[in-house]
With several copies, the nearest count.
Chain A
Amino acid sequence: MIRVAVQEHNFNMAELYHELSQSPANGAVVTFTGLVREVVDTELTHLTLEHYPGMTERALNDIGQQAMARWPLGKIIIIHRIGILGLNENIVFVGVASGHRKQAFAAAEFLMDYLKTRAPFWKKEHTSAGTSWVAAKDSDQTAASRWQSSKE
């Protein structure tokens, strides 16, 4: 089962964990949360998150289905926030429930690597020095491409 959401409001970790840990077949739950991080040398006040409505949900579901096809997983939740996000606020949540830890870790990392390179979101930084769109990182492309050569 895959659940994805694109939303302005924050997510509730206790509820998400409850949702992931319902089934006694799943002995392992891995979660990743990405937060607005301080920027060295400039004073970051907040981010704005733009997205492509409709395509984002499709892209996240597609990424979830690819993970389900690679590993035996019980449940995947992907939530991405949009709009204005202040320093230290949650941006993204990925949670995976599986029978065993190895698969849960691999799937969660895969989901994040693919989300970073294949889901149509764009970050803009607002700092004391002005605003600028965040540039895509080569390291994210590298992280995503390693899943193409390996099944684990």
Chain B
Amino acid sequence: MKVLFFALLRERLGCAELVLEQNEPTTVAKVLEQLKSRSQEWRNTLDNQELLAAVNQSFVDFDATVQKGDELAFFPPVTGG
């Protein structure tokens, strides 16, 4: 599973993209917990930021299912236009 980060989140984490081994279907919320457990810095950043999530380039709630081969993205509220 590919996980993408954008904008402020990408900058704070110092990471634009990572790959997670994930054989069983899981949820966006569980992946997020797993990411927070990587380090105190990741936890702080992901806790302190209002986050949006997309799976395969569509917005989803955090209880949405993600599985092997999916593209999961986390990012701050959008500010285009």
Contact = CB atoms under 8 A, between A and B. Distances in A.
A120 B54 contact: yes
A122 B75 contact: yes
B77 interface: yes
* Residue from A34, A55, A91, A134 whose CB has the most chain B CB atoms within 10 Å: A55
A148 to B, nearest CB: 15
Contact of A52 (B4, B79, B81): B4
Contacts of A91: 80-81
A133 B79 contact: yes
Contact of A119 (B4, B7, B58, B80): B80
Contacts of A25: none
A49 interface: yes
A51 B80 contact: yes
Interface of B: 4, 6-8, 50, 54, 57-59, 73, 75-81
Contacts of A51: 80
Contact of B75 (A49, A120, A124): A120
Interface of A: 34, 49-52, 54-55, 58-59, 80, 91-92, 112, 115-124, 133-136
A71 B27 CA distance: 36
Given A51-B80, A52-B73, A136-B78, 13 more contacts: A52-B57, A54-B57, A80-B81, A116-B79, A116-B80, A118-B59, A119-B80, A120-B54, A122-B78, A122-B79, A133-B79, A134-B79, A135-B77
A82 to B, nearest CB: 9
A9 to B, nearest CB: 17
Nearest to B73: A52
Contact of A121 (B4, B57, B73, B80): B80
Nearest to A119: B80
A123 B80 contact: yes
Nearest to A114: B81
Contacts of B54: 52, 55, 120
Nearest to B77: A136
Nearest to A6: B80
10 contacts: A58-B58, A120-B6, A120-B54, A120-B73, A120-B75, A122-B75, A122-B78, A122-B79, A136-B77, A136-B79
